[in-house]
Amino acid sequence: MATPATTDEAMTTPQPEIPGGWSDFYDNRIDPIIRYAKRNPPLIVGLSLLSVLMIFVGLGHLFYDHEQFRPLSAPTREAPSWEYPFGTDTQGRDLFAVAIRGTPLTLRIGLIAGSVAVIVGTVVAFLAAYYRGWVDSLVRLFVDVGLTIPPLLILVLIAINISGGLTVDQMGLAIATVAWVFPARTIRAQVLVLREKSYVEIARLSGSSGLSIIFKEMMPNLIPYITASFVTSVAAGILASIGLEAIGLGPFDSPTLGMTIFWNIQFSSIILGMWWWWLPPVITIIFVFVGLFMISAGLDEWSNPRLRKSV
């Protein structure tokens, strides 16, 4: 319970110099966060799940020889032992090293896809909702079409047409090209609501420029929605990447979670009883998805106080 609270604090509060010293700082800054965290258990659970993964990856990078993630670097088909804590696979990868190297790669795909998608989506949403007119009609048409076409299929086409297959970063970018529609839709709806608020009206009447209204008046109120869209997009990006990898369109030389799943299916590890091969990626993926899901549920509570049962 302690870990996520501290990460939360590290993330959200800069360290200001308050004259009252530590106790004042605690009362003003840390205590409200802890009290808020107690009220929002999904956020805590979500952040802890992801923290556990990050700590595992971090410690692994520091204390374990993680270069053995390549095939033929270890004896094949060994059950877990002191030497190989997660065992080895049919092609002689050290699966502990695979877990250490692969988890951040998969998260990286999700982060690239999620951040590009949210940035593009936000810009498009603002263009559409703030300026309206034909821009808005065009964006709405694009978004409606994009929501009907399953993104994975377009990704399949992109992936088979890139010779030599996608690298990890290319995969993130490719996913972003189809993933921006959802954030664009959510944020556009919010901008439309904000546009009609009286404080925006006042800012407009007092002669603020469009950009100043967007950044000074609207952005602060949109941050919760943008953050929530970001978390959802990261999850969607990871989901799409694992899907692509499972049907054999992933980066074959990278030990991502999805590629590990792919090799598992390819060599039918489940039927062969090699539980140590498929279990770690499955558990890691469950941690990632449940973690992101919980965080987005927690953010929902933050941005939509009406959902609160007790204050």
Partner 1 sequence: MVSPAAETASEHDEITRPQTRLQVLRSAGFMAVALALYRSYVFRRFFFLLFVIWVAATVIFLIPRLSGQDPVKEKLLLEAQRGGALQSGLDDIAKTYQARLGLDQPLLVQYRNYLYDLVRFDLGPSISFFPRSVNSIIADSIIWSIGLLGTTIILGFVIGTLAGALLGWPRSHGSLQFLFMPFLTLAAIPQYLLGIILVFVFSASWALLPSFGAYSPGTLPEWSFGFVLEVLEHSILPGLALLLGALGFWAVGMRGMMINNQGEDFMIQADAKGLKSRRIFFRYGVRNAMLPQVTGLALALGTLFTGAILIERIFLYPGLGDILFQAIRLSDFFVIRGIVMTVIVSVAVATFLLDVLYPYLDPRVKYTQA
| Closest CA relative to residue 212, chosen from 223, 226, 199, 228 | 199
By CB under 8 A, name the one of 119, 290, 302, 303 that touches partner 1.
290
- Is residue 80 within the footprint of partner 1 (CB under 8 A)? no
Piece of 29-37, 88-96, 186-194, 262-270 that binds partner 1 (CB under 8 A):
262-270
Residues 6+ apart with CB under 8 A from 195: 129, 130, 218
- Is residue 242 within the footprint of partner 1 (CB under 8 A)? yes
By CB under 8 A, name the one of 10, 123, 162, 193 that touches partner 1.
162
- Is residue 270 within the footprint of partner 1 (CB under 8 A)? yes
- Is residue 160 within the footprint of partner 1 (CB under 8 A)? yes
- Is residue 161 within the footprint of partner 1 (CB under 8 A)? yes
Piece of 20-28, 112-120, 220-228, 235-243 that binds partner 1 (CB under 8 A):
235-243
Piece of 27-35, 51-59, 93-101, 158-166 that binds partner 1 (CB under 8 A):
158-166
Which is nearer to partner 1, 187 or 213 (by Cβ)? 187
**Least distance (Å) between residue 239 CB and partner 1:** 6
Task: Determine the size of the site formed for partner 1 (CB under 8 A).
Answer: 40
By CB under 8 A, name the one of 151, 172, 237, 250 that touches partner 1.
151
**Least distance (Å) between residue 125 CB and partner 1:** 18
- Is residue 59 within the footprint of partner 1 (CB under 8 A)? no
In the region spanning residues 102 to 141, those forming contacts with partner 1, defined by CB under 8 A, are none
Piece of 66-74, 117-125, 215-223, 265-273 that binds partner 1 (CB under 8 A):
265-273
By CB under 8 A, name the one of 249, 256, 276, 301 that touches partner 1.
249
**Least distance (Å) between residue 128 CB and partner 1:** 18
Backbone CA torsion sign across 71, 76, 80, 81? negative
Q: What is the DSSP string of the chain?
A: -HHHHHHHHHHH------TTHHHHHIIIIIHHHHHHHHH-HHHHHHHHHHHHHHHHHHHHHHHS-GGGGSTTSS-SSPPP-SSSTT-B-TT--BHHHHHHHHHHHHHHHHHHHHHHHHHHHHHHHHHHHHH-HHHHHHHHHHHHHHHHS-HHHHHHHHHHTSTT---HHHHHHHHHHHHTHHHHHHHHHHHHHHHTSHHHHHHHHTT--HHHIIIIIIHHHHHHHHHHHHHHHHHHHHHHHHHHHHTT-S-TTS--HHHHHHHHHHTTTTTTT-HHHHHHHHHHHHHHHHHHHHHHHHHHHHH-GGG-S--
Which residues make up the interface to partner 1 (CB under 8 A)? Answer: 144-145, 147-154, 156-158, 160-163, 239, 242-243, 246-249, 261, 264-265, 270-271, 273, 275, 278, 282, 285-286, 289-290, 292-294
